[in-house]
Amino acid sequence: MLLGFGLRVMSCVVAQDQATPAVQSEATAAAPAVKKLTIEVSGGEKNIAVENASVYLKYAEGRKLRKDKKYALNVKTNRDGTAHIPDPPLGKVLIQVVAEGWKTFGEYYDLGDAGTVIKIHLDRPRKWY
């Protein structure tokens, strides 16, 4: 009798384990893809990728009763010169790029689609004599 009860419990546990992966795979398939903003930073006459550049994304969240709340995100570029910002804000944003040995870049962009690729070209600074 005890052996029969143990077999029933084990068969229930095995049946639950087999059903669980199907539920997990459906949940991951139904999850929406995270949109991200990609910023490609290149520089110089040869358009080389600028790695380890700081990319700042600044934006304000509008409020009705109080002042607008300001936010800033900071990411770094990889070896390919690209920086990825997951789930970026839509609307008017300021993108600034600061890299050692390059001129600082800053410009306002109007983001309408989160899957956008923005290409930024940096120049060398003028020589001081």
Separation CA 126–CA 102 (nearest Å) = 10
CB 37 within 8 A of CB 59: no
The answer to whether the pTM exceeds 0.85 is no
Using the predicted structure, report yes or no on whether residue 1 has a pLDDT greater than 60.
no
pLDDT confidence band for 4 (50 / 70 / 90) = low
Q: What is the pLDDT of residues 55-86, one digit of tens each?
A: 999 999 888 888 888 999 999 999 999 999 98
* pLDDT at position 18: 52
Q: Using CA atoms of 33, 36, 38, 39 in order, give the dihedral in degrees to the nearest 10.
A: 180
Q: Rounded to whole angstroms, how far apart are CA atoms 7 and 103?
A: 72
Quote the CA–CA distance of 97 and 79 in Å, as a whole number.
Answer: 15
Cα separation, 127 vs 47, whole angstroms: 20
Tokens standing for residue 57: 């994304």
Whole-number Å distance between alpha carbons of 101 and 123? 9
pLDDT in tens, 7-22: 455 555 444 455 445 4
Q: How far apart are the first and last CA of the chain?
A: 96
Task: Give the number of residues written for the chain.
Answer: 129
Range 101-120 average pLDDT:
91
Q: What is the pLDDT of residue 8?
A: 57
Which amino acid is located at 20 in the chain?
A: T
